[in-house]
Structure 1
Amino acid sequence: MGPKASEGEHAVARHRAPGLTLRAVLPNAITAGALCAGLTGVRFAINGDWERAVFAVVLAGLLDGIDGRIARLLKAQSRFGAELDSLADSLSFGMAPALILYLWSLQGLPRFGWFAALFFALCCALRLARFNARIDMDEQPHKSAGFLTGVPAPIGAGLAFVPLYLWMASGEEIFREPILIAIWVAAIAFLMISSVATLSWTSLRPRRSARLGVIAVVGIAFAALLTEPWWTLAAICLIYLALMPWGIISYGRIRRQRAIRQTAERAA
């Protein structure tokens, strides 16, 4: 409360400078957290703490999985957020896994180990650049059918760590063999930049009758992650790879149905 304006005087309206709202900042802050988690994994790897290095990248993957959903929920999507997300993914799921795997095993292959690590990081960057180039494209056959093109960067990082999971779970040195790791890393890198149709969350639609079964399986998976994290992570990655042929077949079926529909529309 203040003194009233005298007659003939006009109150001057004070305009506050516009500020950022939590709704606009939160998704990008989560993305920044994912970036920092991925890079912190490299620090742990330098110290030889492989368990915490992998968990840091896994945490980055979890944060990456929720930032976009929170942005859509809060209606705070922006081009800045999309660019920041791709940059964070390139560092957390391309560069960080490449360096961790190099420090863990690939440096034992003097000539080709570093090139295998570089190839993985490069393929991750190329995949994300392709994704950014297609953001504004209306014609995206895979996306419109509920599929992805190639293996996503966070999943690619998880798949690249499968030998590390198995090594920590079993202690068998065969899983740390540099030649095998180089071949495995190169194969996953190729899957990331491939044009293969891969499953996305929107393409997974279990029947209503299987709802309780799905909930039970998810609950058991969380319990397994707490008790046997390395075996469980390896099993999840191998199940994903085993489902890839099903995704290719499913997309092929949808593409044939579209072709038949388009032919019928032209004939009509």
Structure 2
Amino acid sequence: MDTGFSPYDPNGSDKEGDESRGPRLRDISFRMMVPNIITALAICAGLTGIRLAFEQRFELAVAMVLLAAFLDAIDGRVARLLKSSSKFGAQMDSLADIVNFGVAPALVLYAYLLDHVKSFGWIAAMIYAIAAALRLARFNVMEEEGVKASWQADYFVGIPAPGGAMMVLLPVYLGFLGVEPGTFFAYLATAYTLLIAFLLVSRVPVYSGKTLGQRIRRDLVFPLMLVIVLYVALLMTFTWETMTATTVLYLVSLPFGARAWRKRYGAHTAANKTE
């Protein structure tokens, strides 16, 4: 039946009579669908986290947000591994990030703590969610422009949305560790939420680690594996202590990443002037 709409094309180039168009619906392989399925599961995790928060099951709610972050971290890698990257998948992943790293953490934090200060907490939660959306939109635009030196790929402009979601939940981790979620703590958490929102939309260079580990010296392979296993073991055994320490270390590392950027940028600018 002719519906008047073009069939699904993962790369958005399905025009009548265009020989370069992508595969039609009947030709889409399961391999092409796998990354999108992972992204859909990440959205399910983020939305389930919101539901669990309103049911006062906060530990599971935070776990769902962290699971969404994990799924987000692997969907792009799976797409590249299976050679199934597509424009559709990129757009879906970006929209999923707004839910998982903007809306879900804001609502979980509000339900757990920020509602103690009523409107102030709600405003902070909204500002954080909007900042996450702005951060993702800016990232997409910068990726499309693609005009930057190769070394600049090692850095984000502002903290990434998954990192923001991990950090903004720090007051919740502290609550799980015994900090009383009272009014004073809620005001501190409100100010902290605004700080993370600012870091999302700031132009602070943040080390991305994208190229870290692409090539590893043979003598460092086993020690690195042991460190990873140790971190996962700590995360599974002392979950909230490990998440608190990870968040604090990430915050502490930001000035060092910015300083490294300035050094490399200065050297890059000086090299261009001498050419």
**Matched residue SS, 1:198:** strand
1:134 Cα deviation from its structure 2 partner = 2.0
Q: Match for residue 163 of structure 2?
A: 155
Q: Match for residue 244 of structure 2?
A: 234
Q: Match for residue 5 of structure 1?
A: none
Are 1:119 and 2:119 matched, yes or no? Answer: no
Unpaired stretches in structure 2, ≥5 consecutive residues = 1-23
CA distance in 2, matches of 1:176, 1:201: 36
Are 1:249 and 2:259 matched, yes or no? Answer: yes
Q: Match for residue 47 of structure 1?
A: 55
Are 1:62 and 2:70 matched, yes or no? Answer: yes
**Matched residue SS, 1:134:** helix
Confirm or deny: 8 A CA contact 2:153 2:210 kept in the other structure.
no
**Matched residue SS, 2:156:** strand
Alignment of 1:1-268 (within 5 A): 18-140=26-148, 144-173=152-181, 177-202=185-210, 204=212, 208=217, 210-265=220-275
Q: Match for residue 12 of structure 2?
A: none
User: Cα deviation per residue 1:94-129 (whole Å; 9 max; x = unaligned)?
Assistant: 001111111111111123111001000000011111
1:203 Cα deviation from its structure 2 partner = 5.0
CA distance in 2, matches of 1:170, 1:214: 33
Letter in 2 for 1:228: F
| Greater mean deviation of Cα atoms: 52-61 or 217-226 | 217-226
1:19 Cα deviation from its structure 2 partner = 2.5
Confirm or deny: 8 A CA contact 2:113 2:181 kept in the other structure.
no
1:56 Cα deviation from its structure 2 partner = 0.3
The percent of aligned pairs where both chains have the same amino acid is: 39
* Cα distance change of structure 1 residues 176 and 217 upon mapping to structure 2, 3 Å threshold: farther
TM-score when normalising by structure 2: 0.85
Larger radius of gyration: 1
**Matched residue SS, 1:202:** coil
Q: Match for residue 10 of structure 1?
A: none
CA distance in 2, matches of 1:245, 1:45: 33
| Greater mean deviation of Cα atoms: 174-183 or 233-242 | 174-183
Letter in 2 for 1:243: S
1:143 Cα deviation from its structure 2 partner = 6.9
1:200 Cα deviation from its structure 2 partner = 1.1
1:49 Cα deviation from its structure 2 partner = 0.2
Letter in 2 for 1:101: L
CA distance in 2, matches of 1:73, 1:107: 43
| Greater mean deviation of Cα atoms: 206-215 or 24-33 | 206-215
CA distance in 2, matches of 1:161, 1:109: 17
**Matched residue SS, 2:206:** strand
1:246 Cα deviation from its structure 2 partner = 1.4
Letter in 2 for 1:134: M
* Number of equivalenced pairs: 250
1:197 Cα deviation from its structure 2 partner = 0.8
1:191 Cα deviation from its structure 2 partner = 0.6
User: Cα deviation per residue 1:7-43 (whole Å; 9 max; x = unaligned)?
Assistant: xxxxxxxxx9832211110001101110110010000
